[in-house]
Chains A and B, each alone.
Chain A
Amino acid sequence: MNILNFLEKKDISPTPIVPTQTLTSNTLVFLIAIMTFLSALTFGGLILVQKSASAWSSDISREVTIQIMPIEGELMDANLRLAETIAQATSGVSNAQALSIEESEALLKPWLGEELDLTDLNIPRLVVVKLSDPLNADLLSLKNELKIIKGARLDTHDAWRDQLNTMAKTIIISGMLIFLLIVVATLLAVFFATRSTMSSSRQTVDVLHFIGASNRFVAKEFGSRFLRIGLKGSLIGGISAIIFYMLLGFITSSYLPSSSTEQITALFGTFSLSLWDIFAILSLVPIIALLTAYTSRLTVRRFLKQIAW
């Protein structure tokens, strides 16, 4: 093939006035993809923490626990049955069930390992009390009634729930701060890339001015170029983040030992994304693309105002 023929363009559909395939634009696509990926990871993490905290809080508020400490001379089985009876008679309680030794073992397995044997250990026993109406359950009366059982104590999980809420809020606020910093860093990168592009495209700008193009026209041409770059980069980053979460969910459910999976699930919930979560992460794509276009357009306008003509 003749090299001249190869260099000749064959179609006459309009080529963007601002060159698209430059080192700066390719680097910027890569940078925006990374930043979007990090934003989406942070955003996805926030969704995960928020969902887990809500689920924990909801579960905890629908349940209280009666703990009965082993005391010499006291019959544990009799005390457990009495606690069940007292709890079931309390208003707002739907069910009260003492945990068997096997259930207690199962409960502690994720934390203490598979080889646990509680038969030789004198551990406290639990009665799980399910509340039908958490807001109106008469827990004060239940607490007073339990005084007749030696070593019995009502745990409403309030302290645990408060701590959990505080922790979740701290993580969410920190995550939002990180998210904002990533967005600001992205916009700064776009700002500098735009200035660099404007400087290297000075001849294009001059030619456009000489043939009568307004600053608005020039800004629009550069803005649409950066919109394309922003869309391309953010789409790559957003889809990569979704694939990452899917892989993470697959790995935690398929490759980690079941005890580890249970611990991770107990702490963080599952890594599976609902359609809404995917939609929320993908919503970052147009937002970042539009922010990129807007930032570059402002930068271009500032640049054009600075150059005399």
Chain B
Amino acid sequence: MIEFNNVSLRYGDGPTILRDISFSIKKGSFHFLTGSSGAGKTSLLRLLLLSLKPSEGKMSMLGQEISKLDRDRLLQLRRHIGIVFQEFKLLDHLSTFENVALPLRVLGQQPKEYEENVKELLNWVGLGERMHALPNVLSGGEKQRAAIARAVISRPDILLADEPTGNVDPELSERLLHLFAELNRMGTTIIIATHELSMIKKFNYPQIALKDGGIIIR
């Protein structure tokens, strides 16, 4: 599903952030992406999200080599990838319902088409009662669950999450991880960038560990 062959990344003429990275991730797998601050976790996630292209090496996702794709094809491919940001990135003027429905609006669906699906998903993540609330009245955990719901509403093949438990308490972190595990059981390939060792140990999924710009799979 995801193949990296000697991928390197640097921003402009700056230093190399990721060096000769090679790994592959199978469909339906669950991985933690770990590494100390500045190790390049966010950069690797941006590569996986197709918001950056590798400076060197080959990278393919969902069977397509990224360097050969034009802007429109990259866009099509990106619609198969969901992303959960650490800082949620919910749009403040849209309700929880509308934030979650956003990917479907982008796909051109009408409210009547997506209304039931969005409500069902919001109930599933425990936000059924808060669907009309604006983000500024949601708690950190509610925002994170809304962000997860938005990332999965269009049923992506791959779900990326950048420190999804960074802003919530340990109890909620565990609940969120169970939510990701549930999504994974339904067939979504999941990569979670995190530095929370307790969670990594508890859930015991394989790790893609970044160190000094290189990578170790364990």
Chain A: residues with CB nearer than 8 A to chain B?
A: 4, 7-15, 17, 19, 203-204, 206-214, 217, 309
Contact = CB atoms under 8 A, between A and B. Distances in A.
A203 B132 contact: no
Contact of A4 (B72, B91, B137, B154): B137
A210 B83 contact: yes
Nearest to A209: B51
13 contacts: A4-B133, A4-B137, A7-B133, A7-B136, A8-B95, A8-B132, A13-B111, A14-B105, A17-B91, A208-B102, A209-B51, A211-B154, A212-B154
Nearest to B74: A309
B137 A17 contact: no
Q: 7 nearest interchain CB pairs?
A: A212-B79, A213-B106, A211-B103, A19-B93, A9-B95, A212-B78, A8-B132
Contacts of A8: 95, 132-134, 137
A14 B51 CA distance: 28
B31 interface: no
Given A4-B137, A7-B134, A8-B133, A207 B89 contact: yes
Kindly name the residue among A9, A203, A214 whose own CB sees the greatest number of chain B CB atoms within 10 A.
Answer: A9
A12 B150 contact: no
Contacts of A212: 75-76, 78-79, 103, 106-107, 154
Interface of B: 49, 51, 72, 75-76, 78-79, 83, 89, 91, 93-95, 97-98, 102-103, 105-107, 111, 115, 131-134, 136-137, 150, 154
Given A11-B132, A208-B106, 13 more contacts: A4-B133, A8-B95, A8-B134, A9-B95, A12-B98, A15-B95, A17-B91, A210-B49, A210-B51, A210-B78, A211-B83, A211-B103, A212-B103
A4 B96 CA distance: 14
A10 B51 contact: no
B136 to A, nearest CB: 7
Contacts of B79: 211-212
A178 B90 CA distance: 45
A213 B136 CA distance: 24
Contacts of A11: 132
Nearest to B82: A211
A151 B154 CA distance: 97
Given A12-B111, A207-B89, A214 B75 contact: yes
Contact of B106 (A203, A211, A309): A211
A300 to B, nearest CB: 16
A204 B137 CA distance: 19
A309 B102 contact: no
A203 B92 CA distance: 10
